[in-house]
Structure 1
Amino acid sequence: MRRTRLALCTFVLALSIGLLAVPPSTAADTYPQKGRTLTIIVPYNAGGGADTDARIIAPLLEKKLGIPVQVVNKPGAGTQVGMTALTSAKPDGYTLLLGHFPGTVTTYLDPTRQTAYTRKDFVAVAFTCSEPFTFIVLKDSPYKSMKDVIDFAKANPEKFKVAVTGVLLPPHLSVLELEKQTGAKFAIVHFDGAAPGRTAFLGGHTDALVALVSEAAPALKGEMARVIGIMDTEGNPQLPGVKTLPEMGFNVTMVNSEGILAPAGTPAAVIQVLEAAIKEAVENETYLARMKQLGITVRFKGSRESEAWLTKLENQVRPLIEEARKKQP
């Protein structure tokens, strides 16, 4: 009996030592799990730029990760609906959000929005591409350069009308920054979307339009308008010969970047898997061809670099938001 107990204890001890010798599994070892679905939230209506890009990336991620990837549109409240859904989701790597920045940043930095989330509630997985905003006038406009526009707006405060999308979104913020740096004063006309603003501008209801290259493409291709300034540090291949605002002496840059976020608390190992998969997706010829067609530059940033980029965007727009709110009655 004593021998049996001794043999049993020896077996249990050996088994325990064997189990301890087996390295513990990590999140990366078990992610992604078969049978699970990855959801990409798009905080805008279907058919927009972010929605289109998400639907290009989704099948590429499916192929890499080996699980279904679905795109779900959750528009509303200037991305707040989608961001609330993201930050409320379980941080397991199966819920992401693809959005535009710094537009998404402005929601939680603006205290009047009273968002249910803050910067601490999400983490950047990757940034994939960027596209500059531009300053556009009609083809027959008497304003041939940014200097012409600034000189007129300084001499005639609030007489030069500029169409922008939204309130305290990137187009609006870029005009506020231009005012701050030059002393010019524009009549800013807000529209709920790029299309209504473009229509009003082409109809002669405003003197200028601030829009992305892709948003302005219909007017530019129809030769109804011309870009007189690019809000970036470098030119754009879709706009040969057009100078950047910094080149013209106006240190105003406003670039729309596309980023992918995950809920805070998502394991670092899972973030690494997703980052690698997204990097491979944006290097795919299908994705690259689509971006080139739209005049969008592919600029991949990994998670660590993306976190630093978000901080830079916050520092860029926070003072503009604070100053704009102070001016409100």
Structure 2
Amino acid sequence: MFQNKSRIARVALGASVIGALALTGCTAPGQERSTSSAAAAESCSSFKGKTIELVIPYNAGGGYDVLSRVIIPGIENALDAKVIPMNKPGAGGLLAINQLTTAPADGSQIAIVNGTGAAAAILAGAQGPEFGFDDLSYIGRVAVDDLVVTTNADSDYQTWEDVMKSDGFRFGSTGRGSSDYIVANALIKAFDLKNAEVVVGFNSQAETDLALIQGNVDAIAGPLDSRRTSIENGETIVPLSFADEAPAVAPDATVFSELDLSADAQEIINGIKLLTEYGRPLVAPAGMDEQTRGCLQDALAAAVEDPEVLEQAEKMQRELSYLSGEELANDVVPAFDELPANFIDVLKASY
């Protein structure tokens, strides 16, 4: 389950953002790679036998935890090192990254990030992140959150057209600032859903799922991986997908190319899609020397093609969507500067 999808292929960005990517596509400071492969292989021998902490900013058993443990063997194989998963939950995944940015930039500690949530918080100027995009070294993206809207299979909302005609539609969310709140709020604004609201107060995704199945909320907007079980069980359906094509598990889902969006709505949807391109990256503290960063980047690139990793990813139903650290640093991050004001307003209203 490995997909090496380019940013442009996955996201139909607005003209202003595409222009920004073209202008900022040059190498960002501190991100270029110039060592030869032979020299890099020799220099990476310094990782042999070392221990690397892979910080997971959520509890064990969740999606980020599973994904991290899937790729760890591949990184270990590539570096001949020991990678130890360290669960450090708190502050919606931001506490661990705040701490990471003050750690030694020597490759001994890396982390997986909820990039969508972190980017949204930084762009909104929200309380929580004590770091900016430049406070991280980018190793590479492991996966993206393929966003969907799910509704109760027995509800009146079988299609996205049904949702657009609704009055008083209720999205469920674990709270302000969470990805399910941000995406739901963006959809309410983009489609001007009449009297729609985001219902908060659920302690976990499991609670929100239960509320949807019991009919206490009308929908959840969030990652497909988190919704897959209820979809496959026939308890929920997918009226809308953010992907370019409807997912295999929900072939009848509406995608945005099938909708006639206003200019403002298109900017909001493009903004959400760009946030998801940040995805679930592996990062390290800023200031890492090029050689060390290059070794970690090469190790991740090898890991996502490691047969052991691919077999485990398929078994755990985790789709890998790799993007290099250079592409994250040089293409995706600079594009955040060009997001329109109406989308930033949506983010600010989500906190």
Aligned CA distance change for structure 1 residues 297 and 317 (closer, same or farther; 3 Å): farther
TM-score by length of 2: 0.76
Question: Matched residue of 1:135: which SS?
Answer: strand
Question: Matched residue of 1:40: which SS?
Answer: strand
Deviation per residue, 1:305-325 (Å, 9 max, x gap)? 011223445755985454454
Q: Distance in 1 between matches of 2:308 and 2:345?
A: 41
User: Among 295, 301, 310, which residue is 1:279 paired with?
Assistant: 301
1:70 and 2:84 are equivalent in the alignment: yes
1:9 alignment partner in structure 2:
none
Deviation per residue, 1:198-251 (Å, 9 max, x gap)? 011111101112232221122112211111110122332332232323323354
Aligned CA distance change for structure 1 residues 90 and 292 (closer, same or farther; 3 Å): same
1:310 alignment partner in structure 2:
333
Question: Matched residue of 2:139: which SS?
Answer: strand
**Identity level (%):** 22
Q: Distance in 2 between matches of 1:314 and 1:193?
A: 32
Q: How does 1:81-230 map onto structure 2 within 5 Å?
A: 81-152=95-166, 156=167, 159-185=168-194, 186-190=196-200, 191-230=202-241
CA contact (8 A) 2:89 2:96 kept: yes
2:290 alignment partner in structure 1:
268
Q: Distance in 2 between matches of 1:137 and 1:205?
A: 11
Aligned CA distance change for structure 1 residues 145 and 295 (closer, same or farther; 3 Å): farther
Q: Distance in 2 between matches of 1:314 and 1:203?
A: 41
Once the two structures are TM-superposed, the CA of residue 273 in structure 1 deviates from its matched residue by 1.2
Q: Distance in 1 between matches of 2:285 and 2:340?
A: 23
Question: Matched residue of 2:173: which SS?
Answer: strand
Q: Distance in 2 between matches of 1:320 and 1:123?
A: 26
Q: Distance in 1 between matches of 2:60 and 2:340?
A: 27
Q: Distance in 2 between matches of 1:316 and 1:275?
A: 28
2:74 alignment partner in structure 1:
60
Once the two structures are TM-superposed, the CA of residue 192 in structure 1 deviates from its matched residue by 3.5
| Bigger RCO (CA 8 Å, 6+ sep) | 2
Letter in 2 for 1:260: L
Question: Matched residue of 1:124: which SS?
Answer: strand
Once the two structures are TM-superposed, the CA of residue 327 in structure 1 deviates from its matched residue by 8.8
Is there any run of 5+ residues in structure 2 with no aligned partner, and where? 1-38
Question: Matched residue of 1:79: which SS?
Answer: helix
Letter in 2 for 1:234: E
CA RMSD of aligned residues (A): 2.7
Of stretches 59-68 and 174-183 in structure 1, the one that deviates more from structure 2 is: 174-183
Q: Distance in 1 between matches of 2:350 and 2:83?
A: 45
Q: Distance in 2 between matches of 1:147 and 1:244?
A: 12
Q: Distance in 2 between matches of 1:264 and 1:318?
A: 28
- Greater Cα radius of gyration, structure 1 or 2: 1
Aligned CA distance change for structure 1 residues 326 and 214 (closer, same or farther; 3 Å): closer
CA contact (8 A) 2:100 2:111 kept: yes
Q: Distance in 2 between matches of 1:31 and 1:319?
A: 49
Q: Distance in 2 between matches of 1:178 and 1:316?
A: 17
CA contact (8 A) 1:110 1:321 kept: yes
Letter in 2 for 1:199: L
Letter in 2 for 1:247: E
TM-score by length of 1: 0.81
Aligned CA distance change for structure 1 residues 151 and 26 (closer, same or farther; 3 Å): closer
Q: Distance in 2 between matches of 1:59 and 1:296?
A: 15
Is there any run of 5+ residues in structure 1 with no aligned partner, and where? 1-24
Once the two structures are TM-superposed, the CA of residue 35 in structure 1 deviates from its matched residue by 4.7
Of stretches 27-36 and 213-222 in structure 1, the one that deviates more from structure 2 is: 27-36
